[in-house]
Structure 1
Amino acid sequence: MKIQVAIIGGGPSGLLLSQLLHVRGIETIVLEKHSRDHVLERIRAGVLEHGFADLMRKAQCGDRMDAEGEIHHGFYIARNNRKYRVDLSGQTDGNSVVVYGQTEVTRDLYEARDRMNGTVLHDVKDVELHDVTSAAPHLTFLSNGDRKRIDCDFIVGADGFHGVSRKSIPADVLKEYEKVYPFGWLGVLSRTKPVSPELIYAASPRGFALCSLRSQVLSRYYIQVPLSDSAEDWSDEAFWAELKRRLPDEVSSNLITGASIEKSIAPLRSYVAEPMRYGNLFLAGDAAHIFPPTGARGLNSAASDIHYLYEGFVDHYLNGDSTGLDAYSDRALARVWKAQRFSWMMTSMLHSFDGENSYDRRLRKVELDYLLSSAKAQAALAENYVGLPY
């Protein structure tokens, strides 16, 4: 089989790129190691930058997002029993974010691929990349027990942190950066009315908390916990009680609790791999970078990668211009590192750190004081939160 662009990974990044290229007449195939049901069972964050929302519309699969997504023009930061609103739209010439679950994004992309007869192969095993530095790379893999081969012009690795794509880049070429935070987020999903129409990021002496939502009847809440904890250590009752302790009284008194329908702990870490291109292999999304969830940069940074790849492939195939592909790694990494800075700032400012000295503790307090008292600081925060320009 010969294809123009072979994509490894059937999550939102790989599906979005496949859909965007299909609309422009560029042939793709997507290889996914899991079943579709498994992919759609993943419960992830769902705060979408305005640029991501525009990409979904450009890919002709944004109708349900526009109909059901929650448009948020601001969010709250809480501390010392008070809430402070950050006006996203007012600080960014009208930009906003869309609260729409990653599972729903993926479902919409799958349905669009089905509607256009796009090729997505599931339960693919033992994928190997060959001759990626040549003009004729190819992939081999197992599908239904048979060894198969795909010849292509380019390979896009959107197969996550543990995928095979990044591992195909020689160790003497790849440079990796990592920061591991000494805590995680315990998250609970419940069929309850959200406590706030906009997200609340809460900093308290007991640790960070976040009040989020998926819809008007589905809420998502998080609290900072030690990495030594497991989800089984926390009953629903213990979670709700601790969450209330970290929120302002006016919020906790209105919090509707209920049985959790999903409960898990996510460790917080940051990771970047450079370069994001090796020969005719391109990395995108979690294959190249990981973000702590504070500030919702993970899925959105993956979308910016897809934007640059989409533009590059369109120019290459339709205009005979490879400038965009040649510049992909530098362009993508420039935005990735700005997003890393933003996530690091939000995480450092809002969380509690065991064992930190009095100087660092005081600086974190001053950083938050400055943000809450400065319109210009809030404007910079809003600019990053709604999404920097591509």
Structure 2
Amino acid sequence: MIKNKENAPIIIELIGMGAKKYGGLEKFIVEECRQLKEKGIGLLVVFAVEPICKSYIADLENLGAEWVVLPFTSNLSYYKRIGQMIKSRNVLAIHKNFGQKNIWALIAAKQLGVKYRISTEHCLPDMSRIGAIGYYNLELPFCTEKLCVSKTTAEAFLHAPLIYKNKITTEYLGVSDFFFDKIEMQRKYGLDHNVVNIANVAYHNPIKGVDVLLMAVKILVDRYKADNFRIIQIGGGQNAKQTEDLHALEQQLGISKYVNWMGVTDYVPEILSACDVYTQPSRSEGIPLSIMEASLASLPTAASRVGGIVESVVDGKTGILCNTEDPDALADILYKLITDSGLRKSMGDNARMHALAYFDLRRNVSKLLKHYGVDKI
């Protein structure tokens, strides 16, 4: 752990997981650290497991951030450890991200007088479950604000039988603009410039719908007789079986020729810049940072109409949406984009303008910091 040498105000950022890659959320936190440093405020990042991505940790350290790994062993021990951190520092705000067990950090923070206690919901909650309603009714009294990464996520809370709904608001995440030469990136990653390259950035968890994409590929090949495309799948399994299941489905469908598995990488913007179309057939989403990045690369998106996707993709303008669990509809959309370069160009240009208008990294981090009370010190 990096030690803060001064008793300056500090923000505690509870991640609730580790860091396997230098992705959109990690870049968001680095920008948060940079802006806090400009204001003379420190950042302490609390991971649930040891972070793997060393370049991400190096950037945090270079900006003067502290970080610590605090695995959850029991409610009482976690509560005590967080309490010790708060007592030993001048904590201005605590921010809970993933991990329901982090509610104990919010409880400790309230009892120890931390003024700003923020909880961000990154996923679309299933408010049909009694357990979920019970959990959020328990969490909300300990928050000063409940931030949602999309309006759709916020609406799920507002339509549920919850108390303290006045604490719920929407704050978008954001991504940093970039430019990489398309031909150069195609050469770097060995992508065929004679076909339409369709990118998909997703872990292999079933919630991301990569299996739906594979079934859509089968339809493209068999029904539409499409051959001039390749799927560029970026990501990996959160366990080995998830990836094994997808490879088994690929073999079963006989579509291996059309799928390029790139694995987990820290260079997603470079690969997106080498592609022509983006697709995200998720079963549930808060709001995908990958669509924001694909939009900055001027890619039109073919995606499922679920969660915050409807806010990151303007249907018919920056991409085309379909119902989830519908490989036939997804194949139809992809075929339109594969065969119409003019449509790809116009939608891609619109997508970039939309991302710049709503998902600018620096601007949206600045909005988040206001919830920490940094403008009041």
The two structures share one fold, judged by TM-score above 0.5: no
| Structure ranking higher in helix proportion | 2
- Larger proportion of strand: 1
If the length of structure 1 is used for normalisation, what is the TM-score?
0.38
Give the TM-score taking structure 2 as reference length. 0.39
Higher relative contact order structure (alpha carbons within 8 Å, sequence separation ≥ 6): 1
